[in-house]
Amino acid sequence: MIPVLLFIGFSLSAATIIGGKECTKNVQCGIPAADLEQSREVTDSLSGQCLNGKCSCYDGFGCNNCGARMVLDDYGDYTTIRALIDGSTNSVDICDVQWGGGYCTEDSECHGKGLCIENQCVCYSNWLCPYCEMGLNEDILIGATCGDYVHGGGRCYDDEDCNGKGVCLDGTCTCNSGYVCSHCSALALDVIRGNTVCPCDRVNCGKHGVCQGGVCICEAGFKGQFCNVCDSLDCGEHGVCSLALGGQCVCDPGYSGTLCDTQPRGSKPCEEDTDCGNGVGGICNPTTHTCECYKGWTCPACDKIGKECNAAAMVHGGGACASNKDCGNFGPDFDNPEKTGGKCEGGMCVCFEGYTCPHCTTGGSPESVVKGDLQCKDGAVRSGVCVGMLALLGWVAYMLL
């Protein structure tokens, strides 16, 4: 028997849901505008708008996300579409079916039937379920429910990998209407009625899931159609999850840590970015007026790379000061910083080129002190404590091990 879609009228006030889904953009309320498929900049919906954080439906559309078209009943009232399953007396209210919202990182995860917007699938007209995997016109008529089957998504190199019942888009199968399983190998009707099951031989659930009937059952803490580790890892605003690295966060410049939530900081007072490694090694925080180093750069001014600069930084300025006379070789014109080894900024000595040591008292480079070719007259500063050269060299040896 061919399934038939029937419109069953009922009171709008009694059963029909009109809007109310939480939202931040118009596009989250119902059917995306037609040109959304061509332009990701379009933020409109054909069926509703986001008002005060809630979906508000246009006339003729219903359900909490405004994704369902409404029809007039015999009394002139709008009602939701109900599908009478296979000629029986059982029916499915499409407002009970989820319309998009599945976590995603790219459009292909929405099965070619929607777009990935702000990490959520937004389905095109007539496509439902978290990943837009169920067709309103066919699947719902045979009693399918979200999660009953996998609607494409299997890895592919060309259309032949999708069994001739789908197309290979961006390396994953997108099934033709009416076909299901990871590589579009079965009719949805056969799967729903139990005549066949989706095979597991080509379903890769990774290390955090097992395949049952062509569907990945994920371990606690993991989600997504294939229990993808990146679906469950939040790298925050300053990183992205890399499958190539086994599900590790790849951080933006200047950020580090497992979740890219740590930013190394320098300690040199600054006014502009050029004060921090000439703008290459870091930036100047406009609030704290201290250098914030990019990943791999360190030292107070974000001007060195690697472990040795940590040792060098201990002997290159940083000594406490009250005025310029506390930084360098003092003479009768010590208030002229160019005649001394450094200047006092923010209570800390900053050495000029060619001078080093905590109070910029010695001509030479910090690397010379680290190597032992030069000795600071005023010792070296480590965490605010003055130590002699033997202690310094011992600490340097420890850092370089």
Q: Is it the case that residue 174 has pLDDT exceeding 80?
A: yes
Per the confidence metrics, is the pTM higher than 0.75?
no
pLDDT band at 29 (very low <50, low <70, confident <90, very high): confident
The pLDDT assigned to 8 comes to: 32
> Pseudo-torsion of CA 395, 397, 400, 401, nearest 10°?
-110
The pLDDT assigned to 263 comes to: 62
DSSP summary character for residue 341: S
pLDDT band at 36 (very low <50, low <70, confident <90, very high): very low
DSSP summary character for residue 219: P
Q: For residue 369, what are the contacts with CB-CB under 8 A and spacing of at least 6?
A: 312, 315, 356, 357, 362, 375, 376, 380, 392
Specify which of 176-180, 235-239, 263-267, 305-309 reaches the highest per-range mean pLDDT: 235-239
The pLDDT assigned to 380 comes to: 39
Closest CA to 382 of 324, 318, 327, 323: 318
The domain limits of the chain are 1-147, 149-232, 306-400
Higher pLDDT pick, 39 / 287:
287
Could you give the count of Cα atoms lying within 13 Å of 198 in the half-sphere of its Cβ?
27
Higher pLDDT pick, 126 / 196:
196
Q: Is it the case that residue 298 has pLDDT exceeding 70?
A: no
Q: Is it the case that residue 66 has pLDDT exceeding 80?
A: no
| Pair 48, 99: CB distance under 8 Å | no
Q: Is it the case that residue 170 has pLDDT exceeding 60?
A: yes
Q: In whole angstroms, give the CA distance from residue 80 to residue 44.
A: 22
Angle, alpha carbons 182-188-193 (nearest 5°): 120
**Mean pLDDT of the residues in the chain:** 66
DSSP summary character for residue 191: H
% the chain with pLDDT above 70: 51
The pLDDT assigned to 245 comes to: 60
Q: In whole angstroms, give the CA distance from residue 247 to residue 231.
A: 9
How many contiguous H segments (helices) and E segments (strands) does the chain have?
A: 5, 29
Strand order in the sheet with 78-80: 61-62, 68-72, 78-80
pLDDT mean over 207-221: 78
Q: For residue 52, what are the contacts with CB-CB under 8 A and spacing of at least 6?
A: none
Specify which of 30-39, 154-163, 319-328, 381-390 reaches the highest per-range mean pLDDT: 154-163
List residues bridging with 99 in a β-sheet.
129
List residues bridging with 84 in a β-sheet.
91
Amino acid at 336: N
Q: Which string of DSSP letters, residue by residue, matches 308-331?
A: HHHHHHTTBS--B-SSGGGSS---
Q: What is the pLDDT of residues 358-384, one digit of tens each?
A: 778 777 776 666 456 777 665 433 323
Strands 282-284 and 248-251: unpaired
The structure tokens listed for 372 are 């032992």
Q: What is the total residue count of the chain?
A: 401
Closest CA to 151 of 126, 125, 178, 171: 178
pLDDT mean over 334-351: 67
pLDDT band at 173 (very low <50, low <70, confident <90, very high): confident
pLDDT mean over 289-299: 69
Q: In whole angstroms, give the CA distance from residue 38 to residue 28.
A: 17
The structure tokens listed for 343 are 């200047």
pLDDT mean over 180-199: 77
pLDDT band at 69 (very low <50, low <70, confident <90, very high): low
Q: What is the pLDDT of residues 118-147, one digit of tens each?
A: 777 877 766 777 777 777 655 554 555 565
| Pair 174, 180: CB distance under 8 Å | no
Cα separation of the two ends of the chain? 78
Q: Is it the case that residue 112 has pLDDT exceeding 60?
A: yes
Sign of the C-alpha dihedral computed for residues 207, 212, 216 and 221 taken in this order: negative
Specify which of 36-45, 92-101, 183-192 reaches the highest per-range mean pLDDT: 183-192
The pLDDT assigned to 267 comes to: 55
The pLDDT assigned to 35 comes to: 41
Q: In whole angstroms, give the CA distance from residue 282 to residue 176.
A: 51
Closest CA to 49 of 71, 68, 66, 70: 66
DSSP summary character for residue 252: P
| Pair 317, 302: CB distance under 8 Å | no
The pLDDT assigned to 253 comes to: 63
pLDDT mean over 140-155: 62
With tokens 């879609």, the residue in question is 5
Lowest mean pLDDT, pick from 38-42, 115-119, 299-303, 347-351: 38-42
pLDDT mean over 162-166: 88
The structure tokens listed for 133 are 């995997």
Q: Is it the case that residue 159 has pLDDT exceeding 80?
A: yes
